[in-house]
Structure 1
Amino acid sequence: MRNKLLLALLLGLCSLASQANNNDFAEPVNVSSDNFDGSVKEKKLVYLGNVLVTQGSLKIKAERLEVDSSKGQGKEVFIASGTPASYSQVLDGDKPIEAMANEIRYDVATRVLTLTGNAEINQSGSVVKSAKIQYDLAQQKLNAEGGKDTQRVSTVFIPEKN
């Protein structure tokens, strides 16, 4: 029964996410912060303080952001950290999705978001919490893993209102 409920939530999250504003991924990725330090030679950048990453309606807020662009343009990896770092995106039909974690990793090439450490994703009132959540934005696939000790995957379902 528990597996069927988890599957129902994941399908619900995925069906809403499948309506994600695909135009977001055609937009440039913009980064702003209080401070910046980088190595052009190594193609690694570090942004500190009030970091904001935007790509269309996709937003990542963090205290610190590392950008690895060593694999080339369009293949950057963004690693945001904070207490917590946050992600949000507006889906078609004005359905927002929000997430937070101690670390958020966004791979531009694969469009995969990995939330690690006190990870939480919220959509339409339904919430998934766990040690690690991986969310494939392009394929609309969600995978949550419990952590060591007692941290387990926790899901809250909100029924539709008539």
Structure 2
Amino acid sequence: MKINKLGCLCLLLISMTAATKTTDFSEPIEVNADRNEASLKQQMLVYSGNVIVKQGTLLIKAEKLTVDRSAGEGKEVFIAVGQPAVYSQVLDGDKPIQASAEEIRYAMATRVLTLTGKAEITQSGSLVRSAKIEYDLLKQQLSAEGEKGKERVTTIFTSEGK
């Protein structure tokens, strides 16, 4: 798998002026869905049908959401699946970030989003598209990689004035 370092560096430079709204992480997480199943023994929750997750300005929409609570409170992992699943958040400075993928994995402890399957992330009008994207919300760092022999990393830059 090949990593497009130039594209990652450029997107990082674009996003350095914006930081995730720190108040979002202190907000409660609200999950709404058509259906909920839980395994108390395995500490797994499964939501399905029009799933919406909110935490401050953070918003995830998916067809199915699995929440793994086995690592303990504050270390939950949210796995959203959809065609596509969608993530959005407003960063400090009122700069929105949007992402979509077939699977979005959000690790609360590390505040890292992992997008897999037709992954796209847009910020300040610029776009990164690849098979897999990891985005650290706290550090504002992005890593993208294509699928060997099938898909490469694509980065499209636009000026903020447009």
- Shorter chain as denominator, the TM-score bin is over 0.9
- Give, in angstroms, the shift of residue 107 of structure 1: 0.3
- The answer as to whether partners of 1:35 and 1:48 remain within 8 angstroms in 2 is yes
Q: Note the residue ranges of structure 1 that are not aligned, 5 or more in a row.
A: none
Aligned to 2:148: 148
Find the counterpart in structure 2 of residue 9 from structure 1.
11
1:72-126 per-residue CA deviation (whole Å, 9 max, x = no partner) reads 1111000000000000001122211000000000000110000000000001210
What CA distance in whole angstroms lies between the structure 2 residues aligned with 1:108 and 1:5? Answer: 26
What is the DSSP-based 3-state SS (H/G/I as helix, E as strand, rest coil) of the residue aligned with 1:15?
coil
- Alpha-carbon spacing, 1:6–1:76, altered in 2? closer, same or farther (3 Å): closer
Question: 1:105 maps to which residue?
Answer: 105
Rounded to whole Å, the distance in 1 between the matches of 2:25 and 2:99 is: 18
Q: Secondary structure at the match of 2:23?
A: helix
Q: Percent identity over the alignment?
A: 58
Task: Give structure 2 stretches of 5+ with no counterpart.
Answer: none
**TM-score, with length taken from structure 1:** 0.92
| Cα distance in 1 between the residues matched to 2:16 and 2:37 | 37
Q: From the superposition, tell whether residues 6 and 132 of structure 1 become closer, same or farther in structure 2 (CA, over 3 Å).
A: closer
Q: Which has the bigger relative contact order, CA under 8 A and spacing at least 6? A: 2
Root-mean-square deviation (CA, aligned residues, Å) is 1.6
Q: Distance in 2 between matches of 1:139 and 1:8?
A: 15
